[in-house]
Amino acid sequence: MTLEERIENSKTSIFKAVFPNTTNHYDTLFGGTAMHLMDEVAFITATRFSRQIMVTVSSDRIDFKKPIPAGTIIELIGKVSHVGNTSLKVNVEIYIEQMYAEGRELAVHGDFTFVAIDENKKPVQVIK
């Protein structure tokens, strides 16, 4: 399998409904909840790419472009954007969709770096 095919096959998409128990006093999704969901999608993407034990080592930059209101649907999309020897980078985007209207908007995007490790927690090659 080529690197491009591996990247495409590991692309991960998850949908969530934004309910009131995940929102702040402005009735929008907590930033920390968004980051939690993004790290989870990034982890799944990294693991699907490498099929090895992967750990988050950094979140480089997370940009909150639009607030995410309660009562919307969000889609989180993770895609590998860079592959190194023992690490890889995953870009995650969150899109907002209104429940009862067409269209979607990019709300948040960020990058997460992962390292492949062995059973002794030592870095190993991302691609075997």
**Helix H or strand E segment including 53:** strand 53-64
Mean pLDDT within 26-47: 97
pLDDT digits (tens, 9 = 90+) for 57-70: 999 999 999 999 99
| pLDDT over threshold 90, residue 120 | yes
Q: What does the domain layout of the chain look like in residue ranges? A: 1-114
* DSSP H stretches of helix in the chain: 3-10, 31-50
Domain 1-114 has CATH 3.40.50.300: no
Task: Give the model's pLDDT for residue 14.
Answer: 98
Q: How far apart are CA 54 and CA 5, in angstroms?
A: 20
Q: How far apart are CA 28 and CA 3, in angstroms?
A: 38
pLDDT digits (tens, 9 = 90+) for 91-119: 999 999 999 999 999 999 999 999 999 99
Mean pLDDT within 61-88: 98
pTM above 0.85, yes or no: yes
Angle at 40 between CA 31 and CA 29, to 5 degrees: 25
Q: Which residues of 25-56 are buried (b: 16+ CB within 10 A; e: fewer)?
A: eeebbeeebbbebbbbbbbbbbbbbbebebee
Task: Give the model's pLDDT for residue 53.
Answer: 97
Other residues' Cβ atoms within 10 Å of the Cβ of residue 93: 18
Percent of the chain with pLDDT over 70: 100
pLDDT digits (tens, 9 = 90+) for 4-35: 999 999 999 999 999 999 999 999 999 999 99
Task: Give the model's pLDDT for residue 128.
Answer: 83
